Structure 1
Amino acid sequence: MKSIMQPYDRSRGSSCYLCQKLNGDCWDKYTEEHHAIGGTANRKLSEKYGLKVRLCIYHHREGPEAVHNNINNMRLLQKEAQIAFEQHYPDLSFSDIFGMNYLTEEDRKPHKDKIGQGFFLMEGDKS
């Protein structure tokens, strides 16, 4: 299934989800697919429900900010995956399906600084 967290088109390259989120860097670069909720069973569920993003090597597996080396960045993706899941599948229970809840009550409160964040795929000239 396509990602519900990050639109991307392989024919145009892709940008790193965390480069965008953490640094405002939207440049296309080599990226790898990362399933936001890991583990043997949950990786398959991440695929099924579209909980995956594109990450550059530095943010995926090499470097101090890589999600496989940095628990804070891993948790950031897991929380955002849960938010995306709950918005996309309002009739399903994330915690029943994945056996985890990554969001605190504080995470669920609307924050003034969150307004306007995010990335949108803009339709361009297809000629």
Structure 2
Amino acid sequence: MNNEVQQRLRTYPLHVQQRLEELRSLIFSLATELNLGDVDECLKWGEPSYSVKSGTPIRMDWKPKNPQYYALYFNCRTKLVDTFRELYCDTLEFQANRAIILPLNKPLPHHVIRQCLTLALTYQRCKHLPLLGA
């Protein structure tokens, strides 16, 4: 794990750390499973960020001003969040065209988040397809 990211994760409450580490593990697992190459892990705007060559960056964070939620952030210039909203409006909460908002008091919807992360990690390959090929 990148030292800066590790230090940043340690600043979150323990229950938040666990949720963010769950997302991190899922990103690395998908990148391996899909043969996407190395995952670049760093801090962007003080938030853990993950990217591969075939995708668009994925950031994650928790904010004390909204303590019951954590979030996955995506480039607002992509079609990702609009596509996620079209596909999963009954399962996920969104913030404008930039984030999936996840409640800490509910289990992670693994299947849905897995699909969203896959689309972000392969965005350069599928951005021209209707609903990103989902």
Greater radius of gyration (CA): 1
Same fold (TM > 0.5)? no
Q: TM-score, normalised by structure 2?
A: 0.26
Q: TM-score, normalised by structure 1?
A: 0.27
Higher strand share: 2
